[in-house]
Homo-oligomer: A and B are copies of this chain.
Amino acid sequence: VTDTENHILEEALLRTVQGFIERRDSQGLRQALDRVRPADLADLLEHLESEARLFVFNLMDPEGAGEVLAEIQPPVQERLLSDLDNERLSAIVQELPPDEAADLVGGLPPERAREIIDAVGEEVSEELERLLPYPEDSAGGIMTLEFVAVRADANVQDAIDTVRAKRREVEKLYYTWVVNDSGQLVGVLSLKELILEPPERKIAEIMNPDVIWVDVHSDQEEVARKVKKYNLVNVPVVDAGHRLVGRITYDDIMDVVTEEAHEDISLMGGVIDQQIGEHSTVKISRARLPWLILGLFGGIIAAAVVHRFEASLEKIIALSFFFPVLMAMGGNTGTQAATVVVRGLATGDIMPVHMAGRLWVELRVAVVNGLICAVLLGTVVGLWLANYRLGAVVGLAVLTIVLYSGMVGTAVPLLLKRWDVDPALATGPFVTTSNDILSLLIYLCLVTLLL
């Protein structure tokens, strides 16, 4: 089943469901949706109008509705949540795994969140109160409280009994963790071992004491890097006293990786925090306008720079022909260098301490690329306008701009990272704009000095 075939199947399901909705046939609709997986139901709901969406959603039992809600895109989820009454919403929150319940409740307006917490059962509200204080992008914010832990002095049969007791509660269970008397994490054991070892075997003898863990206050990017580096499927979360408090599963890490890539790519593209499924003109416009206006004022500064050199321009009108190419060279070189650094910082392969090494690599590359481009452009300009002096000056400008932009593109993201600002800003319109201005300034200064 390829993506296209999948899309055809989705369309067919969508049309069937729309038929049932038009006939208000709840019975038939419930049957039709019975065998559809939650993730597919979420896709389906995303493609319905809000009234039809609510109609379908209200047919589901709270558990199924919760699974679907967790899979749905944020802008649609937000609209759906505001359409649900508190009774229905608390019934759903009651059935969700704690981490997903906390994500959902944490995204509500504070007053409504309070109402939901008061409405759910004591056990769930306690879990929510424990999880909600953690920042959304910390290990605590993405961990779940459901895990299986056994004592090091227990045996295999005890561990199997623990798994059995938590059978319904703990999903995606592939490991049990081992703790000491104080609840501190001391080892890990895969279910494979539990299956293969005799029931009376002591856990301490078969566990792996070299367990990789994360601190509950770690940033989610750090957690993701660790999970990727050591190929973990579940990672245990410990508090300041090294006590086991939760676990993070691979699917949440996958979401973190996707989210971080999305944020970096958006910032590079000059879009602040726009969800892909967003259709509201006002919200999209608000996500993009800051950069456009920044670019606008950058452009006005560039205009003022050019204005200062009006005398030179009046003498040689052809000088203005090369504004576009020089700005493009500065922008492209800077973005190329910054892109590699931003990626390296995201994967952890490049760190702020590597500044000198990176600058040296980029300097070499800038010299090579700058010389090649300078010779090319200088020759074309010289031949075209039969003005070799102008060609030489334009070529020199290209070389200077490429060198300068390569250095700026490398240094800025590393400095931003050092100052705890998102380095992806360095590849967006912010640096492009300042490079535009400086490229023009370099060019016009060289021209005025040399011609």
Contact = CB atoms under 8 A, between A and B. Distances in A.
A251 B299 CA distance: 46
B368 A285 contact: yes
A46 to B, nearest CB: 8
A258 interface: yes
A210 B37 CA distance: 9
Given A266-B343, A361-B284, A254 B251 contact: no
Nearest to A272: B336
B313 A325 contact: no
A116 B444 CA distance: 60
Best-buried of A3, A270, A302, A336 by chain B (most CB within 10 Å): A336
Given A192-B191, A285-B368, A373 B333 contact: no
Interface stretch (A50-58, A125-133, A432-440): A432-440
B276 A344 contact: yes
Contacts of A134: none
Interface stretch (A81-89, A106-114, A229-237): A229-237
Interface in A288-331: 288-289, 291-293, 295-296, 298-300, 302-304, 306-307, 310, 313-314, 317-318, 320-329, 331
Best-buried of A299, A324, A327 by chain B (most CB within 10 Å): A324
Interface in A171-228: 172-174, 190-192, 194-196, 210, 215, 218, 222, 225, 227-228
A275 to B, nearest CB: 9
Given A167-B196, A274-B340, A276-B349, A329 B233 contact: no
Contact of A195 (B191, B276, B291, B327): B191
A3 B265 contact: no
A356 interface: no
A343 B289 contact: no
A403 to B, nearest CB: 13
Contact of A270 (B163, B293, B339, B347): B339
Given A269-B335, A373-B296, A7 B160 contact: no
Contact of A328 (B167, B230, B299, B307): B299
Majority secondary structure, A binding face: helix
A231 B251 contact: yes
A349 B427 CA distance: 25
B289 A258 contact: no
Best-buried of A2, A191, A215, A255 by chain B (most CB within 10 Å): A191
A269 B427 contact: yes
Q: How large is the interface on A (under 10, 10 to 19, 20 to 34, 35 or more residues)?
A: 35 or more
B325 A292 contact: no
A417 to B, nearest CB: 10
Interface of A: 1-3, 7, 35, 37, 39, 71, 73, 160, 163-164, 167, 172-174, 190-192, 194-196, 210, 215, 218, 222, 225, 227-231, 233, 250-251, 253-255, 257-258, 261-262, 264-266, 268-271, 274, 276-277, 279, 281-282, 284-285, 288-289, 291-293, 295-296, 298-300, 302-304, 306-307, 310, 313-314, 317-318, 320-329, 331-333, 335-336, 338-340, 342-344, 347-351, 353, 361, 364-365, 368-369, 372-373, 376-377, 380, 402, 427, 429, 432-433, 436-437, 440
Q: Closest 3 A-B residue pairs measured CB to CB?
A: A299-B325, A269-B339, A261-B261
